[in-house]
Amino acid sequence: MAMSTLTIQEAAETTGWSPRMLRYIEQVGLVAAPRSAGGYRLYGPAELQRLRTLRELLQQFDIGLTDVGFALRLRRDEELRAALDEWFQARPAPPADVPADDWLRWEYDKHQKLLAEIPVAQRSRPAPVDAPTGAYPIVDIPDDTGTYPVVDIADDDVRSRSGRRPGAHRNHEENR
């Protein structure tokens, strides 16, 4: 007897994707499996081919599922595409009413206002993998001292949250 469809578990075993990843791939809109009368996902040869070629695409270009999901969103959302095109073409310049000497302070204050609107817990943790937003999460990345660089406007100097300059190590050997 010929097989016509696979369950999500069988499809996971066949493709190497976990059932959770297969649900995520469907949630993002990359591969949708038809449903049985009882609501179970059914994977046929077309869905298996899409999953195989998706894996090949990820490997060939060294990208992740969120990258492909974002590309799909970009194809479907003309407003987002236009906003990104505008952003890529824009050249940094101070606002017309801000003197060049005050531009750094103005940008710093603007960032502080934006950060104040984001709960602290969300500033340093990545978005959950199974909740794609089409955007990259805000992540604090430590410098080579293990601290997070911040700009000290008063000194026009970059210092870490520990107060040390990035790269100013107490014990140079421990950081090799």
* pLDDT tens profile 4-56: 999 999 999 999 999 999 999 999 999 999 999 999 999 999 999 999 999 99
**Does any domain span residue 36?**
yes
Question: Which residues pair with residue 159 across a beta bridge?
Answer: 150
Q: Is the pLDDT of residue 138 over 80?
A: no
Query: Do 2 and 31 fall within a single domain?
Result: yes
The two beta strands, 157-160 and 149-152, are antiparallel
Q: Rounded CA gap, 162 and 148, in Å?
A: 8
Regarding predicted confidence, which is higher, 170 or 31? Answer: 31
DSSP 43: B
Pair 9, 21: CB distance under 8 Å: no
Alpha helices (H) along the chain = 8-15, 19-28, 45-61, 65-76, 78-89, 103-116, 120-123
**Does any domain span residue 110?**
yes
Question: Which residues pair with residue 150 across a beta bridge?
Answer: 159
In this structure, of 54-63, 66-75, 95-104, 155-164, the range with the lowest mean pLDDT score is 155-164
Q: Is the pLDDT of residue 129 over 70?
A: no
**Does any domain span residue 101?**
yes
Number of domains in the chain: 2
Regarding predicted confidence, which is higher, 148 or 79? Answer: 79
**Does any domain span residue 134?**
no
Pair 153, 109: CB distance under 8 Å: no
Query: Do 84 and 106 fall within a single domain?
Result: yes
Regarding predicted confidence, which is higher, 119 or 107? Answer: 107
Range of the domain at 55: 1-63
Mean pLDDT of the chain: 79
Q: Is the pLDDT of residue 150 over 90?
A: no
Query: Do 57 and 94 fall within a single domain?
Result: no
Is 0.75 surpassed by the pTM of this model? no
What SS3 state is found at 53? helix
CATH code, domain carrying 56:
1.10.1660.10
Name residues whose C-beta falls within 8 Å of residue 84's C-beta, 6 or more positions apart in sequence: 74
Report which listed range, 1-10, 105-114, 166-175, is most confident: 105-114
The full DSSP string for 121-165 is: HHHSSPPPTTS--SSPPP-----TTSS-EEEETTTTEEEETTSSP
Q: Quickly state the pLDDT bin for 122 (edges 50, 70, 90).
A: confident
Regarding predicted confidence, which is higher, 149 or 60? Answer: 60
Query: Do 58 and 21 fall within a single domain?
Result: yes
Residue 43 main-chain phi, psi, to 5 deg: -105, 120
Q: Is the pLDDT of residue 165 over 70?
A: no
Alpha-carbon distances of 39 from 21, 34, 46, rounded to whole Å: 18, 9, 19
Query: Do 1 and 58 fall within a single domain?
Result: yes
Q: Is the pLDDT of residue 88 over 70?
A: yes
